[in-house]
């Protein structure tokens, strides 16, 4: 008997599930806390909890993660240098201080527009080598000729040895700015994805598991692990994609909307007749538009571990993830006493980082370049959590809360605070950790809000449900202003939303929010069995899908019957006739699909390949097409083993 293992690493929990290949039945599953900065202990803990007899007969391991998405949402990515070649129309500044503009680039036919200033790239690379962990390169019209990107990449690799990402490797669509953003985000994520994948490889090797390793992409398809490491940007929404595929599988619904409540974010998506609803214009994450094909989703940086804080008797939810008080009281033996004895801050000093329930501890990441203020604060923060009062006392001076923000963004400090998970502990609806710490936190924050602990936690729970309902309706009612939706949700009008689409809830204690959600919207709301590990299920049941897009154009419109250019991923070819160009383009497309499927362990009758040709020609055009867009698509499905 053979089995398949699905693993999903979220911001709070790492989930695992084992499915029997012969009939697709879930035979075992569990969860463990995600560990930072080393992910391996968390992965080891969850796999240790599974039946070893199933594990030793595992032949496929497929993974998904929200770690990349969370990194972008929280603004805690690794430092990256960006090199922009040619005339880049920047719509907004990239969030890095290490940017170089150099001459070079090509025109729409892939002909060199200006020579590449390689000397400037060499000088820049050596200058920032010790301050960044990766490079991103985007050259003008690199989709038509990647020559300059490749030359720059080779030289940077030679000089620094650091990872380098090129725009043409990630998208064949036009849009120099979006490709630059995509390359930048991809470079930020390479260290994170690499660490995650390496942790899994290490663990399954230690267990003697001989299995193929795949990763879910953000369009709901799977990819070989080598490709995932090279293009981690394509996994930015692999967690939400896994939840969508998993929700459909667990509920038996081929058409539904899905609300996935994680530790850091809540994600809304939908599937129609078994096909995920895709955003063909490119994924938008953390406000950045990319050229990555992904599921269409509505996401909010609030989840079960979002920070609950208050200023002027207003209740705030997120956007940052923190360690819940209940979890911290188990992890740190002295934490509860410290929480109880920490003074209440003055109301006029309250802000996100100054709260009676907020504490700070070292994360384990190695410090890089720090300002004087950052170094002074970090020096007094140890492995045991400390409050703002303790930091001030130890540094013997007042400090600006912004200093803590900088240390959090650099991943040097992890934060502890009150969360929706704590609220559920106080209300008795989820009791996995130490309830006393949650209750102490609710008493302190409730005092500032002039509420009892139960009233305060009920308000938190309702705010979470309202957030879920608002983003679900915003996703479904495309084009309707959020303000209009909020007025109905807040009972400003005698009306209530009724949905004809069933809604599936996924996540740890998600059942606790079902009642409040039903009070806000009239819908068939389901919480399937194994909802708590739905993402790990989705990581296993995704299809292998590969799309290869190739463009054919005449080299010159002055002689449209001869000399045709073929622009394929990573190459620019020239053919004398249109028929030869089309033949070669089709051949290239099929090979790209077949090679991809082999990486996924799929071949032969497991793979269906189709091609679609779209041509553009003006009226009265009596020549081969002015432009031909060839799309070769491969869909692969694993066979079940008996």
Q: Are 118 and 152 a contacting pair, CB within 8 Å?
A: yes
Residue 438 lies in a domain: yes
313 and 186: one domain?
no
Residue 245 clears pLDDT 90, i.e. is over it: no
Tell me how far CA of residue 232 lies from CA of 137, 196, 236, 615, in angstroms.
Answer: 16, 11, 7, 32
Provide φ and ψ at 138, rounded to 5°. Answer: -135, 120
419 and 316: one domain?
yes
Residue 175 clears pLDDT 90, i.e. is over it: no
Q: Residue 336: what pLDDT? A: 94
Residue 640 clears pLDDT 50, i.e. is over it: no
195-203: which pairs have CB atoms within 8 A and are 24 or more residues apart? 195/39, 196/9, 196/39, 196/63, 196/65, 196/67, 197/63, 197/225, 197/228, 197/229, 199/38, 199/39, 199/40, 199/43, 200/7, 200/43, 200/61, 200/63, 201/225, 202/40, 203/40, 203/43, 203/44, 203/47
Residue 393 lies in a domain: yes
Residue 200 lies in a domain: no
**CA nearest 16: which of 421, 530, 527, 509?**
530
Tell me how far CA of residue 272 lies from CA of 95, 243, 255, 451, 478, in angstroms.
Answer: 36, 14, 4, 44, 16
Residue 426 lies in a domain: yes
**CA nearest 30: which of 49, 43, 51, 13?**
49
Domain boundary among 429, 456, 483: 456
Domain that holds residue 610: 544-636
Residue 490 clears pLDDT 80, i.e. is over it: yes
**CA nearest 91: which of 185, 182, 181?**
181
Pick 498 or 70 by higher pLDDT.
498
320 and 452: one domain?
yes
559 and 442: one domain?
no
Q: Where does the pLDDT of residue 641 fall: very low under 50, low under 70, confident under 90, or very high at 90 and above? A: very low
443 and 549: one domain?
no
Q: Are 202 and 194 a contacting pair, CB within 8 Å?
A: no
Q: Residue 353: what pLDDT? A: 87
Residue 502 lies in a domain: no
Mean pLDDT is lowest, of 11-25, 159-173, 201-215, 373-387, for: 159-173
Three-state DSSP at 12 gives: coil
**CA nearest 259: which of 564, 484, 518, 13?**
518
**Dihedral angle over CA of 173, 178, 179, 183, nearest 10:** -140
What percent of the chain stands above pLDDT 90? 28
Domain boundary among 192, 217, 238: 192
342 and 447: one domain?
yes
312 and 447: one domain?
yes
The DSSP result for 425-471, as a single string, is HHTTS--SS-HHHHHHHHHHHHHHHT--HHHHHHHHHHHHHHHHHHH
pLDDT 10s digits, 59-112: 888 888 777 666 666 666 678 898 988 876 665 677 678 888 899 888 877 788
pLDDT 10s digits, 587-606: 999 998 888 787 766 767 77
Residue 429 clears pLDDT 60, i.e. is over it: yes
Q: Is the peptide bond before 82 cis (omega within 30 degrees of 0)?
A: no
Pick 173 or 168 by higher pLDDT.
168
pTM of full prediction above 0.75: no
Q: Residue 420: what pLDDT? A: 95
Average pLDDT, rounded, for the chain: 84
Q: Residue 332: what pLDDT? A: 92
Domain boundary among 456, 475, 508: 456
CATH number at residue 188: 3.40.50
Q: Residue 130: what pLDDT? A: 84
pLDDT 10s digits, 547-569: 788 889 898 888 889 899 998 88
Helix (H) or strand (E) holding 56: helix 52-56
Q: Where does the pLDDT of residue 628 fall: very low under 50, low under 70, confident under 90, or very high at 90 and above? A: very high
Residue 501 clears pLDDT 50, i.e. is over it: yes
pLDDT 10s digits, 318-338: 888 899 999 999 999 899 999
319 and 450: one domain?
yes
Residue 244 clears pLDDT 80, i.e. is over it: yes
431 and 568: one domain?
no
Q: Residue 580: what pLDDT? A: 94
313 and 426: one domain?
yes
Three-state DSSP at 489 gives: helix
Residue 466 lies in a domain: no
Residue 556 lies in a domain: yes
pLDDT 10s digits, 113-167: 889 999 999 999 999 988 888 898 888 888 778 889 889 999 999 999 888 888 8
Q: Where does the pLDDT of residue 637 fall: very low under 50, low under 70, confident under 90, or very high at 90 and above? A: low
Helix (H) or strand (E) holding 323: strand 323-324
Structural domains counted in the chain: 3
Residue 344 clears pLDDT 60, i.e. is over it: yes
pLDDT 10s digits, 527-551: 998 888 888 888 777 666 777 888 8
Mean pLDDT is lowest, of 422-436, 535-549, 605-619, for: 535-549
Residue 425 clears pLDDT 90, i.e. is over it: yes
452 and 322: one domain?
yes
Q: Are 40 and 48 a contacting pair, CB within 8 Å?
A: no
What percent of the chain stands above pLDDT 70? 89
Provide φ and ψ at 371, rounded to 5°. Answer: -75, 170
The DSSP result for 66-124, as a single string, is SHHHHHHHHT-PPPEEEEEES----SS--S-S-EEEES--B-TTS-BSS---HHHHHHH
Residue 281 lies in a domain: no
Query: Average pLDDT of 182-194?
Result: 78
Q: Where does the pLDDT of residue 276 fall: very low under 50, low under 70, confident under 90, or very high at 90 and above? A: confident
Q: Residue 80: what pLDDT? A: 87
Give the residue ranges of DSSP H helices in 534-601: 534-541, 578-599
Q: Residue 504: what pLDDT? A: 94
Question: DSSP label at 252?
Answer: T
Residue 236 clears pLDDT 80, i.e. is over it: no
Q: Residue 642: what pLDDT? A: 35
Helix (H) or strand (E) holding 514: helix 514-520
């Amino acid at each position: 008997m053979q089995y398949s293992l699905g693993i999903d690493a979220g911001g709070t929990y790492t989930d695992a599930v084992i499915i029997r290949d012969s009939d697709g039945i879930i035979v075992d599953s569990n969860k463990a806390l995600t560990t930072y900065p080393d992910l391996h202990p968390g992965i080891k803990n969850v796999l240790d909890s599974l039946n070893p007899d199933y594990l030793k007969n595992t032949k496929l391991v497929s993974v998904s993660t929200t770690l990349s998405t969370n990194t972008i949402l929280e603004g805690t990515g690794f430092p990256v240098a960006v090199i922009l070649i040619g005339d880049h129309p920047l719509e907004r500044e990239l969030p890095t201080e290490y940017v170089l503009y150099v001459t070079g680039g090509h025109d729409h036919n892939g002909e060199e527009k200006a020579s590449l200033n390689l000397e400037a790239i060499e000088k820049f690379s050596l200058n920032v080598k010790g301050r960044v962990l990766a490079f991103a390169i985007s050259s003008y019209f690199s989709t038509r000729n990647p020559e300059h990107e490749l030359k720059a990449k080779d030289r940077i690799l030679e000089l620094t040895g650091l990872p380098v990402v090129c725009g043409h490797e990630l998208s064949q669509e036009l849009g120099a700015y979006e490709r630059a953003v995509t390359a930048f985000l991809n470079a930020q994520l390479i260290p994170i994805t690499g660490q995650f994948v390496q942790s899994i490889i290490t663990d399954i090797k230690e267990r003697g598991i001989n299995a193929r390793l795949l990763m879910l992409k953000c369009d709901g398809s799977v990819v070989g692990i080598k490709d995932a490491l090279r293009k981690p940007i394509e996994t930015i929404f692999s967690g939400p994609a896994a939840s969508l595929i998993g929700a459909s599988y667990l509920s038996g619904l081929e058409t539904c909307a899905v609300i996935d409540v994680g530790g850091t974010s809540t994600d809304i998506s939908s599937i129609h007749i078994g096909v995920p609803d895709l955003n063909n214009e490119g994924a938008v994450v953390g406000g950045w538009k990319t050229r990555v094909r992904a599921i269409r989703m509505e996401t909010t940086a609030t989840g079960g571990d979002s920070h609950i804080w208050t200023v002027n008797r207003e209740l705030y939810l997120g956007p940052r993830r923190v360690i819940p008080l209940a979890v911290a009281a188990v992890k740190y033996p002295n934490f509860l006493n410290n929480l109880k004895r920490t003074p209440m801050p003055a109301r006029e000093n309250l802000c996100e980082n100054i709260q009676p329930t907020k504490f700070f501890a070292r994360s384990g990441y190695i410090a890089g370049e720090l300002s004087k203020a950052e170094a002074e604060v970090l020096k007094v923060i140890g492995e045991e959590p400390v409050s703002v009062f303790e930091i001030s006392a130890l540094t013997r001076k007042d400090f600006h809360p912004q200093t803590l923000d900088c240390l959090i963004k650099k991943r040097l400090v992890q934060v502890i605070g009150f969360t929706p998970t704590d609220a559920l502990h106080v209300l008795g609806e989820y009791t996995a950790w130490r309830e006393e710490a949650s209750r102490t936190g609710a008493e302190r924050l409730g005092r500032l809000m002039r509420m009892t602990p139960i009233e305060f936690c009920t308000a938190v729970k309702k705010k979470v449900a309202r957030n879920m309902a608002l983003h679900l309706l915003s996703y479904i009612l495309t084009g309707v202003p959020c303000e209009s939706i909020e007025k109905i949700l807040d009972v400003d009008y005698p009306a209530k939303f009724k949905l004809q689409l069933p809604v599936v809830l996924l996540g740890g204690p998600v059942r606790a929010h079902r009642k409040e959600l039903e009070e806000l919207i009239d819908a068939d709301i389901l919480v399937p069995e194994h909802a708590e590990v739905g993402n790990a299920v989705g990581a296993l049941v995704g299809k292998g899908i590969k799309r290869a897009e190739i463009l054919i154009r005449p080299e010159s419109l002055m002689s449209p019957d001869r000399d045709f250019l073929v622009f394929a991923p990573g190459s620019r070819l020239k053919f004398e006739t249109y028929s030869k160009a089309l033949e070669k383009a089709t051949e290239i497309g099929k090979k790209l699909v077949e090679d991809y499927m082999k990486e996924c362990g799929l071949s032969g009758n497991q793979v269906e390949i189709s091609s679609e040709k779209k041509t553009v020609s003006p009226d009265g055009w009596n020549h081969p097409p002015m432009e031909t867009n060839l799309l070769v698509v491969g869909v692969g499905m694993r066979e079940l083993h008996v």
